Amino acid sequence: MIVPKNLTMPRLSDTMEVGTIIKWHAKPGQKVKSGDVIADIETDKATMELQTFEDGTIAELNVKEGQPVPVGTLILSWEGGTGGAEVKGSASKAAAANAVGSSSASSSTAVLDAPAHASNGHTSERIFASPLARKIAADTGVDLSRLSGSGPSGRIVRKDVEAFIASSTSSTPAAAPATSSPAPQRTAPAHPAAAAVVPGSAFVHTPGTLRAETQPLSNMRRTIAARLVESKTTIPHYQVTVAVRMDALLALRQQLNDQLSPQGVKLSVNDFLVRACALAMHQHPYVNSRWVGAKGQESIQLLDHVNVGVAISLPPEKGGGLVVATIRSADSKGLRLISSETKSLADKARTKGLTIDEMGDSTFTISNLGMFGVEHFTAIINPPNAAILAVGAAVKKPVVQTVNGKDELVIGHEMQMTMSSDHRIIDGAMAAQYLATVKQMLETPATLLV
The pLDDT score that the predictor gives to residue 220 is 73
- Residue 184: inside a domain: no
What is the tally of structural domains in the chain? Answer: 2
The pLDDT score that the predictor gives to residue 166 is 72
CB distance 109 to 56 below 8 Å: yes
The residue type at 98: N
Tell whether 293 and 426 lie within a shared domain.
Answer: yes
pLDDT in tens, 41-86: 877 666 677 777 677 888 889 998 888 889 889 988 877 654 433 3
Q: Where is pLDDT greater, at 186 or 345?
A: 345
The pLDDT score that the predictor gives to residue 134 is 77
- Residue 207: inside a domain: no
CB distance 55 to 23 below 8 Å: no
Cβ-count burial 315-341 (b if 16+ within 10 Å, e if not)? bbbbbebebbbbbbebbebebeebbeb
- Residue 199: inside a domain: no
Is pLDDT above 70 for 416? Answer: yes
Do the strands 68-70 and 37-42 form a parallel or antiparallel pair, or are they unpaired? unpaired
Show the domain range for 407: 236-449
Tell me how far CA of residue 31 lies from CA of 28, 60, 154, 406, in angstroms. 9, 12, 26, 82
For the question of residue 282 being annotated catalytic, the response is: no
Tell whether 250 and 112 lie within a shared domain.
Answer: no
pLDDT in tens, 275-296: 999 999 999 999 999 999 988 9
CB distance 334 to 342 below 8 Å: no
Q: Chain-wide mean pLDDT for the chain?
A: 79
Is pLDDT above 70 for 436? Answer: yes
Of the listed ranges 33-37, 115-119, 165-169, the least confidently predicted one is 115-119
Of 95, 127, 159, the residue at which a domain comes to its end is 127
State the DSSP code for 129.
Answer: B
Confidence band for 10, pLDDT divided at 50, 70 and 90: confident
- Residue 133: inside a domain: no
Which of 22, 441, 6 has the alpha carbon at shortest distance from 218? 22
Tell me the CATH number at 308: 3.30.559.10
pLDDT in tens, 237-286: 999 999 999 999 999 999 999 999 999 999 999 999 999 999 999 999 99
Tell whether 100 and 248 lie within a shared domain.
Answer: no
Tell me how far CA of residue 439 lies from CA of 291, 373, 418, in angstroms. 26, 20, 12
Tell whether 397 and 272 lie within a shared domain.
Answer: yes
Tell me the CATH number at 23: 2.40.50.100
Question: Which residues are CB-contacts of 350 (< 8 A; sequence separation ≥ 6)?
Answer: 312, 314, 315, 318
Tell whether 377 and 248 lie within a shared domain.
Answer: yes
pLDDT in tens, 134-145: 777 877 778 888
CB distance 110 to 51 below 8 Å: yes
- Residue 152: inside a domain: no
For residues 369-387, average pLDDT: 94
Spatial separation of the C-alpha atoms in residues 283 and 146, rounded to whole Å: 59
The angle at the Cα of 218, spanning 141 to 365, to the nearest 5 degrees, equals 125
Of the listed ranges 8-12, 182-186, 299-303, 403-407, the least confidently predicted one is 182-186
Of 76, 100, 127, the residue at which a domain comes to its end is 127
- Residue 301: inside a domain: yes
CA dihedral 82, 84, 87, 93 (to 10 degrees): -150
Tell whether 393 and 264 lie within a shared domain.
Answer: yes
- Residue 226: inside a domain: no
pLDDT in tens, 145-203: 888 777 655 678 777 787 787 776 444 333 333 333 344 443 333 333 333 444 444 44
The pLDDT score that the predictor gives to residue 108 is 42
Tell whether 122 and 247 lie within a shared domain.
Answer: no
Q: Which of 191, 205, 305, 423 is catalytic?
A: 423
Of 127, 150, 184, the residue at which a domain comes to its end is 127
Name beta bridge partners: 57: 31, 79
Tell whether 293 and 439 lie within a shared domain.
Answer: yes
- Residue 197: inside a domain: no
Which of 67, 58, 45 has the alpha carbon at shortest distance from 7? 58
